[in-house]
Amino acid sequence: MKTIKGPGIFLAQFVGGAPPFDSLDGLARWAAGLGYVGLQLPTTAGLFDLRKAATSQTYADELKGRLREVGVEITELSTHIQGQLVAVHPAYDQLFDGFAPEAVRGNPAARTEWATRELKLAAEASRRLGLAAHATFSGALAWPYVYPWPQRPAGLVEEAFAELARRWRPILDAFEDAGIDACFELHPGEDLHDGATFERFLEAVGNHPRANILYDPSHFVLQALDYLAFLDIYHERVKAFHVKDAELNPSGRSGVYGGYRSWVDRPGRFRSLGDGQVDFSAIFSKMAQNDYPGWAVLEWECALKHPEDGAAEGAPFIKDHIIRVTEHAFDDFAQSGVDAATNRRLLGIG
């Protein structure tokens, strides 16, 4: 069994315009001071140069060295934004254009090409940085049809996943060439948002070995999905882990869909670690049992608590939940030292 690495923290929600949140070095010192030993780095926040990291081993080594001096290392790179832009339904074109470089806005084909190039750079950058996994989104073509009314035409969903696979297959091949697992965060708004949709995609890409999962139980709580059973089913594909809490408190007025309410008023909302309903003790036990090979990384999103308080509480919370796995069975002390011949006699076949 493997002991989970951590605690790590995803920096996307903490990047800001004032020190220490306005630079990677400042964020690294801040995170290390809170007890984090790993940083998951967004690739669109200006914290480092993705292209340089993909093309220059010297730059990648210097980046690692700067962080090592502070006492932290990179857990994974993140291309959530670029992954989202690999596949965008026209209904969301205007909204998602705001996440794209100005040069490709208003041009969906160019936007997809840009996102694809970015993901391939991220695969190579991850290799140069000595990483094992990468965090991303799948994008979505079928999301507007997630509820089957009006009735979906026959073949609509199948064609959506076939096209998604066509767009992702070259990217997954680039991750294969780099030796990196591409881990999709299964998330509402993405075509890959639960186990069933991940299975559809996996079949469409021919069970590609680099198509894997970023496990985040908070998104499953909000869908009323059994997040512990999910680990029993898909643990072999879980290669990244966001430690994020959530709660779902349906009422007579609203449930899973949220009634178009703001986050603070929704029945389902994200919470800081320990303030929601996720059973992290059970999750970390299953992760240890299943030999999860990676990091436990805080992703902070809470409708109520200040982010700096959530970050400060997150490191000890994760550290306290990581199970240092045993190197031997608890009853090894009682070994009787019998041999094969004795075993046969005990079975009456000697």
pLDDT bin (cut points 50, 70, 90) of residue 7 is very high
Q: What pTM was estimated for this model as a whole?
A: 0.95
Which domains, and CATH codes, for the chain?
A: 5-346 (3.20.20.150)
User: Which pLDDT tens digit goes with each residue over 144-203?
Assistant: 999 999 999 999 999 999 999 999 999 999 999 999 999 999 999 999 999 999 999 999
**Beta carbons of 238 and 212 less than 8 angstroms apart:** yes
How big, in percent rounded to 5, are the helix, strand and coil portions of the chain? 45, 15, 40
What secondary structure does DSSP assign to 287-313, as a single string?
HHHTT--SEEEE----SSS-HHHHHHH
Report the pLDDT averaged over residues 2-29. Answer: 97
Residue 53's identity, in one-letter code, is: A
Which pLDDT belongs to residue 295? 98
Terminal alpha carbon distance of the chain: 35
What is the average pLDDT value for the chain, to the nearest integer?
A: 96
pLDDT bin (cut points 50, 70, 90) of residue 330 is low
Question: How many of the other CB atoms lie within 10 Å of CB of 31?
Answer: 27
Which pLDDT belongs to residue 327? 77
Which pLDDT belongs to residue 345? 87
Q: Record the tokens describing residue 12, joined without a space.
A: 């996307």
Which pLDDT belongs to residue 156? 98
Q: How far is CA 192 from the centre of its chain?
A: 12
pLDDT at position 338 over 80: no
pLDDT bin (cut points 50, 70, 90) of residue 333 is low
pLDDT bin (cut points 50, 70, 90) of residue 340 is confident
Report the pLDDT averaged over residues 49-65. Answer: 98
User: Which pLDDT tens digit goes with each residue over 79-138?
Assistant: 999 999 999 999 999 999 999 999 999 999 999 999 999 999 999 999 999 999 999 999
Which pLDDT belongs to residue 1? 79
Query: What does the alpha-carbon distance between residue 136 and residue 174 come to, in Å, rounded to a whole number?
Result: 14
pLDDT bin (cut points 50, 70, 90) of residue 331 is low
User: Which pLDDT tens digit goes with each residue over 271-325?
Assistant: 999 999 999 999 999 999 999 999 999 999 999 999 999 999 999 999 999 999 9
Which pLDDT belongs to residue 334? 60
